[in-house]
Structure 1
Amino acid sequence: MTKLTGPEITERAPRGWVYLRNALRTRLRTGDFATGLALVNTIGTAAEAANHHPDLDLRYTYVDVRLRSHDVHGVTERDLRLAATISELADSVEVTADGNDLTVLELGLDSPTFPAQVDFWEAVLGYPRDADGDLLDPYAKVPLIWFQKSGSEEPRQRWHPDLWVDPSEVQPRIDRALAAGGTLVSDADAPSYWVLADPEGNRVCLCTWQGRE
């Protein structure tokens, strides 16, 4: 299977699915636990038949779904097919697929002594390194941690969060951040990411899939 590009994925993804951090995702708003459990079992049967298995997170009123082809580290045709099947199964029990407010949080460490810091954090956290040298929880329960070299005189915090959002969510979040007293530090790398800062100067990046292919 060939890894698809961001435009290919977003053009063909079923309604209610979003492309975030190399995976296709949605939230199935079941409304109650029993409906969610039954839907998870139905999805499981379909996944077994397709020999392609999503990550499912069952909660009281919703089920989060993540699709990714691990052999190519991205989204392929098989993910789009299974997403379409899952949407049909959800529609059949009147469950809405809505991924617009889904986000993915990562932590970046800016360090003038990179990559010397990586060994320490790998030892403390116990995460294996992925193909990009980032530290990744194998169970995907806590944020991925990545590292980059910075200058030694920069007046900013060294840890900063990266928040992956759907492109449609960027401007509303920027507007709310500015209204809350924040500032837009830079949009020079938009639409890949925008840099915001809180009133004390602590920074966060809003990231999308755009401009990365």
Structure 2
Amino acid sequence: MMEQIPAREFHAADGVEDWRSLYHLVSAHFRTASLAEGVAFVEEIGRITGEAEAQYLAVDLRAAGVTVSLGRRDVALARRVSSAAKELHLRADPTAVQVVNVTLDVLVGGNVLPFWKALLGYGQIGDDYLFDSLRRGPGFGLQQMDSERPQRNRIHLDVAVPHDQAEARVAAALAAGGRLVSDSYAPKWWVLADAEGNEACIATWLGRE
């Protein structure tokens, strides 16, 4: 099995300029002028992807674009996908990739995770994370609390964005009426809140490796 390389090492490689790390994934979005153009690109991805590589490849096809995600930071496959896009005259748009997770603050994770797993019909990774095996919905994670916080919301969104898009996304959220709760861990993550105090985080891979 291929060993996962650090995000910093992936981004230092040549030929992966289209790609952005989002937690453990790397993703690229390629704009298309039609569904037929996207289908042609997906067919080419299928042709150049080996059987072993396909197990951690996800492709989302829409009329306006194709998003390709790799569950492992595979420089060689990323290069081949980008090369196929270039041959088809498709342009990458790094602003269009992100990962959204729903995060629940808990006191005893083991008491609540089975409920959410059954409710969502998700699979489980480790002791604190659930995922949609069909990759249609957001991930669902648990975050340990030290004590109860009855005056604070316990469910929030974590939005992972490309490292070079994070500050613009934070600025857009603030301009839209949000406020900065904390940037103590930036650029790993920023904590923001809406006008009523409901919190969310903008996160990047920076500071995680």
Matched with 2:203 is 207
* Count of aligned positions: 204
CA contact (8 A) 1:25 1:64 kept: yes
User: Which of 174, 180, 186 does residue 184 from structure 1 map onto?
Assistant: 180
Whether 1:171 and 2:174 are equivalent positions in the alignment is no
**1:6-34 CA distances to partner (integer Å, 9 max, x unpaired)?**
21112225222111121111111121111
Amino acid in the other structure paired with 1:43: I
Amino acid in the other structure paired with 1:65: V
User: Which of 54, 60, 63 does residue 60 from structure 1 map onto?
Assistant: 63
Higher strand share: 2
Shift of 1:113: 4.1
Secondary structure in structure 1 of the residue aligned to 2:94: coil
CA contact (8 A) 2:110 2:127 kept: no
User: Which of 142, 145, 150 does residue 140 from structure 2 map onto?
Assistant: 145
Shift of 1:169: 1.4
User: Which of 37, 40, 43 does residue 39 from structure 2 map onto?
Assistant: 37
User: Which of 173, 192, 197 does residue 196 from structure 1 map onto?
Assistant: 192
CA contact (8 A) 2:11 2:17 kept: no
Shift of 1:135: 1.0
Matched with 1:97 is 92
Once residues 132 and 43 of structure 1 are traced to their aligned partners in structure 2, the CA distance between those partners, rounded to angstroms, is: 34
User: Which of 82, 87, 94 does residue 87 from structure 1 map onto?
Assistant: 82
CA contact (8 A) 2:109 2:128 kept: no
| Greater Cα offset, 192-201 or 150-159 | 150-159
CA contact (8 A) 1:15 1:97 kept: no
User: Which of 159, 162, 167 does residue 155 from structure 2 map onto?
Assistant: 159
Amino acid in the other structure paired with 1:134: Y
Unmatched tracts of structure 1, length 5 or more: 70-74
**1:145-180 CA distances to partner (integer Å, 9 max, x unpaired)?**
111232213421111000001111121122122222
Which TM-score applies when normalising by structure 1?
Answer: 0.89
Once residues 200 and 112 of structure 1 are traced to their aligned partners in structure 2, the CA distance between those partners, rounded to angstroms, is: 24
Secondary structure in structure 2 of the residue aligned to 1:138: coil
CA contact (8 A) 1:16 1:100 kept: no
Whether 1:135 and 2:136 are equivalent positions in the alignment is no
Cα pair distance change 1:11/1:119, threshold 3 Å: same
Shift of 1:98: 2.1
Secondary structure in structure 2 of the residue aligned to 1:194: strand
Once residues 105 and 47 of structure 1 are traced to their aligned partners in structure 2, the CA distance between those partners, rounded to angstroms, is: 26
**Percentage of pairs with the same residue:** 35
CA contact (8 A) 1:134 1:145 kept: yes
Q: What is the RMSD computed on CA atoms of the aligned residues?
A: 1.6
Once residues 42 and 75 of structure 2 are traced to their aligned partners in structure 1, the CA distance between those partners, rounded to angstroms, is: 18
Once residues 175 and 164 of structure 2 are traced to their aligned partners in structure 1, the CA distance between those partners, rounded to angstroms, is: 18
| Greater Cα offset, 148-157 or 119-128 | 148-157
Secondary structure in structure 2 of the residue aligned to 1:135: strand
Whether 1:16 and 2:37 are equivalent positions in the alignment is no
Shift of 1:65: 0.4
Secondary structure in structure 2 of the residue aligned to 1:167: coil
Q: How does 1:104-119 map to 2 (within 5 A)?
A: 104-119=99-114
Which TM-score applies when normalising by structure 2?
Answer: 0.91
Secondary structure in structure 2 of the residue aligned to 1:4: coil
Secondary structure in structure 1 of the residue aligned to 2:68: strand
Once residues 113 and 22 of structure 1 are traced to their aligned partners in structure 2, the CA distance between those partners, rounded to angstroms, is: 25
Unmatched tracts of structure 2, length 5 or more: none
